[in-house]
DNA sequence: TATAGCATGTAATTAGTTACATGATTAA
DNA sequence: TTAATCATGTAACTAATTACATGCTATA
């Protein structure tokens, strides 16, 4: 069975304990979504496929009349996850940035609009940074209670990344302002 | 007509002069593809739609028996491009980074593998940086000959960005090494 | 008692890549 | 003469989002 990146997100989320599809979605939304998102439309069908492939095991945990299936990693699933992290396969990355795309073509508009664009970009990155700061307690808890170092390191990277982007925007604001001004 | 980001890439590429679909593809591959890619499978059908919408105009420029259609911006197309750059619509951005995704889950493998992962990530970003440096002459030419400031600024951002990523990887290498060592 | 959150899932749509098919021209 | 590059386009596929549909449970 061919595993997609999203399959690995799911396997990874089950590395410490069992979770429902719903829980996986909300953990993703508080962690990996900044560099790898996943929707219900991917998670539920993928959980089914992973179960068929013997990499996860679902167990009914109904609470009263509410249906609920918790999934756990099988030994094969864990091996698959570890192999993927250790595999030397090329690491792809992709940035899709609408602001940068507009910026690239910004010679066709005048400085006032150029300035507005970079200002909007900076604000967006500052907002995302704030959003990430709000998540920090989660990552600190994961470290304190489950000994996980990497979610926090990853979050700290994310914050530094947003800062880097916002700083670059500030620099561009100054550069453009110089031309507009005197 | 609803325009996608890729539509704007095409309009943008025609801002200074006419181009064929083939040329647009190769310019994209030397510029915006680092934050917005486009394939032939998008470009040719999209050029057709843009022409039907009156935003670009194609002209046959056959050289002997070889077919060739060059497209130019119509006044409406230019306005559409300018409006998009100036519009205050939310600027979306998305990072998909397989290395970071593995890193997030890296608690499940041992330090030797963690180290290998960040090393691979660093090397990838250094390679991309080198690739971008190779493009610099193109962007400098655009500035010198067509007065375009923004493609060069964007490229310089790209280079700084790759450096930032590579530096962070180096820092992680040192951090992990400390734990592996003594 | 009503709203927010928990929970599962599918269908339709959109976006995008890859592979394929074809052929001309230029430079080594 | 052959390989690289120029040039156009479609078909099949893959990935992913969004909207929809359903219903339970806890809490304010």
Quickly state the pLDDT bin for B103 (edges 50, 70, 90): very high
Quickly state the pLDDT bin for A130 (edges 50, 70, 90): very high
Within 89-128 of A, beta carbons closer than 8 Å to B belong to 90-109, 113, 116-117, 120-121, 124
Task: State whether A58 and A33 are in the same domain.
Answer: yes
Has residue B55 been placed in a domain?
yes
Q: Of the candidates A85, A119, A142, which is a domain's last residue?
A: A85
**In which domain, by residue range, is A15 found?**
5-85
pLDDT of residue A63: 79
- Kindly state the average pLDDT of the residues A41-68: 94
Distance CA(A35)–CA(A25), nearest Å, equals 14
Q: How many residues does chain B have?
A: 182
Q: How many domains is chain A partitioned into structurally?
A: 2
Task: State whether B128 and B175 are in the same domain.
Answer: yes
DSSP H or E stretch at residue B88: none
Measured in angstroms, the CA of B99 and the nearest CA of chain A are apart by 6
- Kindly state the average pLDDT of the residues A48-61: 96
Task: State whether B77 and B112 are in the same domain.
Answer: no
Q: With contact defined as beta carbons under 8 Å apart, do A153 and B172 qualify? A: yes
B147 CB near a chain A CB, below 8 Å?
Answer: yes
- Kindly state the average pLDDT of the residues A155-162: 98
Task: State whether B113 and B145 are in the same domain.
Answer: yes
Written as six digits, the tokens of B38 are: 């486009």
**B51-89 pLDDT tens trace:** 999 999 999 987 788 899 999 999 999 999 999 999 999
Query: D12 C1' – B46 CA distance, angstroms?
Result: 19
Distance CA(B101)–CA(A31), nearest Å, equals 10
Is pLDDT at B182 greater than 70 in this prediction? no
Q: Of the candidates A38, A62, A85, which is a domain's last residue?
A: A85
Q: Of the candidates B31, B52, B85, which is a domain's last residue?
A: B85
pLDDT of residue A171: 98
pLDDT of residue A182: 54
Has residue B91 been placed in a domain?
no
Is pLDDT at B141 greater than 90 in this prediction? yes
Quickly state the pLDDT bin for A181 (edges 50, 70, 90): low
Task: State whether A11 and A49 are in the same domain.
Answer: yes
Strand C: positions under 7 A of a protein C-beta atom: 6-12, 14-20, 23-26
- Minimum CA–C1' distance nucleotide for B45: D9
**A26-49 pLDDT tens trace:** 999 999 999 999 999 999 999 999
Quickly state the pLDDT bin for A179 (edges 50, 70, 90): confident
**Of residues B35, B85, B96, nearest to A106 (C-beta):** B85
Task: State whether B108 and B151 are in the same domain.
Answer: yes
């Amino acid at each position: 069975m061919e595993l997609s990146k999203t399959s690995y997100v799911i396997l990874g989320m089950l590395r410490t304990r069992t979770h429902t599809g719903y829980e996986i979605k909300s953990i993703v939304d508080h962690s990996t979504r900044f560099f790898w998102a996943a929707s219900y439309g991917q998670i539920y069908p993928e959980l089914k496929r992973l179960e068929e492939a013997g990499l996860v095991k679902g167990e009914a945990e109904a609470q009263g009349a509410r249906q609920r299936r918790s999934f756990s990693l099988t030994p094969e699933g864990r091996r698959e996850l570890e192999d993927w992290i250790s595999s030397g396969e090329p690491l792809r990355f992709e940035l899709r940035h609408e602001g940068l795309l507009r910026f690239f073509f910004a010679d066709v508009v005048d400085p006032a609009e150029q300035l507005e664009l970079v200002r909007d970009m900076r604000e967006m990155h500052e907002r995302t940074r704030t959003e990430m700061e709000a998540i920090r307690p989660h990552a600190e808890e994961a470290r304190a209670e489950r000994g996980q170092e990497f979610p926090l390191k990853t979050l700290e990277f994310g914050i530094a990344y947003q800062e880097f982007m916002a700083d670059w925007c500030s620099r561009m604001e100054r550069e453009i302002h110089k031309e507009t001004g005197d």
